[in-house]
A and B are shown apart, each in its own frame.
Chain A
Amino acid sequence: MADLEIRGLTKVFPGGVRALDELSLHIEDGEFFALLGPSGCGKTTLLRSIAGLETPNSGKILIGGRDVTRLPPGARDLAMVFQDYALYPHMTVADNIAYPLKVRGVGRKERRDTAESVGRSLQIQGAMLDRRPGQLSGGQQQRVALARSIAYRPHVFLFDEPLSNLDARLRLEARTFLKQLQRDLGVTTVYVTHDQAEALALADRMAVMEQGRIRQLDTPSNCFLRPANIFVAGFIGSTPMNLLPATVQDGGLDVAGRKLLIPDAIRAQAKVGDAVILGARPEYVSVSATELPDSLGGIVRVLENLGVDSLVTVEVGDLLVKATVPEERVPAVGDQVWLQPAQGRLLVYRQDDGEQVGAPPVAPIEAPALAPQAG
């Protein structure tokens, strides 16, 4: 087992695309670490650089304290599960699982034994071992790919969107299975995904990436509850966060002509007249049919049933604000309602650089944005 350290990694592709920009990161031994971001943010390039499939332009990669930056992939003691699983169609399942051992010159008998024992732990057994990957379901193929990685006994697991080829239901099952497996094996794991729900569910810690840089490095719950900037705020959460332009006034915030209370934590840092962006998750916005002080009054325009809750879209001045309401309190379209963000859940971001009010200013290009958490 080993920890993983990335120091100032930069990768520029021919053509000038800067996929990784002076990126630094430390992943603890045994940690389940997720790299999250939209496509093109550099998360896959980072994973492939760790694997040795890309050569970074500068920076260092250390696995268990050993500098592997210039080592070929095969010398890094890590296993990778690819998005398409990369199971060889011409080999049986058992041969696929044992292929890493064959590369190392392990004999036929021992390979078969390993394939059987590793396969058994992942419910790949019996006749299935002698089938071809093409004859298996997506979920089974995914487990075979896992088994092949496990058979290699690596120091680090690398996962490149391993669940994205499964249908929604199977994905949930596989997710739980994967988390359990990682706990049992205790192998340091780097997991790339563009699905924020997957990252939140699986990771011990995660890095949210944009344009080759880390925008927030934190636990899933902190990333969800206290996004460090508008980018993270907008990216995480299954219903998108309300991001509302506002102006700081004396003792309050002006939103579309309505007034909200300014959160205590940032009162000191904000000046009157500052342009800010308010972030409020629909889950933390309450809807009232009676007028409340310091709230956003508006008209209900759209209702969307989410199952347990409903998502209400309210027209407040020229803004659209979303809130979730439990089934028994759903208003009707056209109703006048008053919206109020929950205490301590209203986030305030600077309009100019999108960072939280109170956070140190972020230079637009140079420094990697390892923004510390503001309160």
Chain B
Amino acid sequence: MSPRGAELPAPPRGASTPAEASAAALSTRGAVAFLTPALLLIGVFLIFPALWTLYLGITDYRLTGIQAAQPQVIGLDNYTAALGDPAFANSLWVTVLYVLGSAVIGQLGLGFALAWMFRRWQGPARNALEVLVIVAWIVPSSVVAFLWIAFLDTHNGTLNAALGNANIPWLFSWPLLSIIVFNTWRGTAFSMLLCGGALNTLPPSHLETARLAGASSWQQLRDIVLPSIRGHLLTNLLLISLWTFNDFTPYLITAGGPNFATDTLPVYIFRNALVNFQLGYGAAISAILLVINLGIALIYLRVLRARN
């Protein structure tokens, strides 16, 4: 479970300084002893499960019945079944919309806008807004899920009350839009903080030079700011996309419904594998999700490397 929020550090670079060899209070054998407990835990509970997923995906494993005792390798049947299953296609499509809407447009767009606004705005209103955005990000997910269930409630929800007792059944009529708006609310803080940090790395003299040349705010943004922090924005985008792909929180609000309108891949996997106990099929979908994650992570590491 990728701990959301631990912005991944730069990948290691090659050649280290020669002085390093003698610095440590450890021999190579000592170092191996120091590494062993961590590697053991990571190996058993992180790396092994990932590899096992790939194996399970080609079996007809179930939790009960004959397949539980002696699962058969059935090759790519699970994958062909998934790819031919309209429910899977629906789930993939829903997930893509969810990621595009809430991460790419929502979190990154709003997060950057807030960071850009906060750059030269001081005072209590700014601080209050910043704290609100951050609190939305850190309150545990099972609590915020209910806050949004209440907020969007058809008859008593605060949103409908604010709209003059509109009684709009948000979670029924616009379920996907609802969880996109929810997840934007939920995750904007990370992009806001990261963009804020990126903007801070920009030397003030760059913008001042542009202002002396008569550039408008928009021109400064387009010609100076965005090109300078492009790397930050891209890594941020990849991270939040990866997290959103794997986000299980929509399940707590809509449980995939109504009528599979919010059936994102994590929810789809959960339902097939751990509710219907089609473990082989669920693992195949998991493997697909892992490959998506791997793709994003590889691009991410490449971008990070290029940035350094």
Contacts and interface: CB of A to CB of B under 8 A. Distances in A.
Whether A and B touch directly in their complex, counting CB atoms under 8 A apart, is answered as yes
Interface of A: 13-15, 17, 19, 48, 53-55
A15 B14 CA distance: 12
B17 to A, nearest CB: 9
Contacts of B18: 13-15, 17, 19, 54
B22 A54 contact: yes
15 contacts: A13-B18, A14-B18, A15-B15, A15-B18, A17-B18, A19-B18, A48-B19, A48-B22, A53-B19, A53-B22, A53-B23, A54-B18, A54-B19, A54-B22, A55-B22
Nearest to B18: A13
B interface secondary structure, majority = loop
- B18, B19, B23, most chain A CB atoms within 10 A: B18
A48 B15 CA distance: 20
B23 to A, nearest CB: 8
A48 B19 CA distance: 9
A241 to B, nearest CB: 33
Nearest to B15: A15
Instruction: List the 10 shortest-distance A-B pairs measured between CB atoms, nearest first.
Output: A13-B18, A53-B22, A54-B22, A14-B18, A15-B15, A55-B22, A48-B19, A53-B19, A54-B19, A17-B18
B2 to A, nearest CB: 33
Interface of B: 15, 18-19, 22-23
A14 B20 CA distance: 12
Given A14-B18, A54-B18, 13 more contacts: A13-B18, A15-B15, A15-B18, A17-B18, A19-B18, A48-B19, A48-B22, A53-B19, A53-B22, A53-B23, A54-B19, A54-B22, A55-B22
Contacts of B15: 15
A167 B22 CA distance: 31
Query: Interface SS of chain A: helix, strand, loop or mixed?
Result: loop
A19 B22 CA distance: 16
Contacts of B19: 48, 53-54
Nearest to A52: B22
A17 B19 CA distance: 13
A344 B18 CA distance: 46
Contacts of A48: 19, 22
B136 to A, nearest CB: 37
Nearest to A44: B19
A372 to B, nearest CB: 33
A54 B15 CA distance: 17
A17 B22 CA distance: 17
Nearest to A13: B18
B14 to A, nearest CB: 11
Contacts of A13: 18
Contacts of A53: 19, 22-23
A55 B22 CA distance: 8
A104 to B, nearest CB: 17
A55 B18 CA distance: 11
A15 B18 CA distance: 9
A200 B23 CA distance: 32
B6 to A, nearest CB: 26
Nearest to B17: A13
A13 B23 CA distance: 15
A328 B136 CA distance: 75
Nearest to A55: B22
A86 to B, nearest CB: 11
Nearest to A45: B18
B30 to A, nearest CB: 15
A78 to B, nearest CB: 15
Contacts of A54: 18-19, 22
B187 to A, nearest CB: 37
A13 B22 CA distance: 12
Nearest to A53: B22
B146 to A, nearest CB: 45
A55 B23 CA distance: 12
A53 B24 CA distance: 10
A55 B15 CA distance: 19
Nearest to B16: A14
A130 to B, nearest CB: 28
A310 B119 CA distance: 50
A27 B15 CA distance: 35
Contacts of A15: 15, 18
A13 B21 CA distance: 11
Contacts of B23: 53
A221 B18 CA distance: 35
A17 B15 CA distance: 13
Contacts of A19: 18
B114 to A, nearest CB: 35
A48 B23 CA distance: 11
A14 B18 CA distance: 7
A360 B22 CA distance: 40
A19 B19 CA distance: 12
Nearest to B23: A53
A204 to B, nearest CB: 28
Nearest to B22: A53
A17 B17 CA distance: 12
Contacts of A55: 22
Contacts of A14: 18
A13 B15 CA distance: 12
